[in-house]
Amino acid sequence: MIVVEALILASLLAVLVRLAVGPTPWDRLLAANSAATRILLLMALLAILQDRTLYLDIAIVYAAISFLGIIIVARVMERSGGIR
């Protein structure tokens, strides 16, 4: 289980590199989306590992709020042509 968590943490760091160097704003947005998914999986793994069900509820709320943020930022960038 520790190996799985380390693998997802390394994947999160690689996605954050793409979020830092992405050439276009849409690259940064999709990297933020992928990073949110990986953080959510880390929360679920930690909930199973430490046997705390509360983290799963936090993961559900985090999924809903990150989805809302991604949709709003994508709509604003579609209207305004990207924030450079």
Partner 1 sequence: MIAWIFIGLGCAFLVVGTIGIVRFRDVYSRLQASGVSDNVGSTFLLLGLVLLDGLTARDAAILFLIALLVVTNPIATHSIAKSAFTNRHEEDGS
- Applying CB under 8 A, the residues found at the interface with partner 1 are 4, 7-8, 11, 14-15, 17-18, 23-24, 26-27, 29-31, 33-34, 37-38, 40-41, 44-45, 47-48, 53, 56-57, 59-60, 63-64, 67, 70-71, 74-75, 77-78, 81-82
Give kind and range of the element (H or E) at residue 16. helix 2-21
Instruction: Write down the least CB distance from residue 10 to partner 1, Å.
Output: 8
Rounded to 10 deg, the angle between the 2-21 and 25-50 helix axes is 160
Instruction: Write down the least CB distance from residue 36 to partner 1, Å.
Output: 9
Nearest partner of 29 among 62, 77, 63, 65, judged by Cα: 77
Instruction: Write down the least CB distance from residue 75 to partner 1, Å.
Output: 7
Q: Helix, strand or coil for residue 35?
A: helix
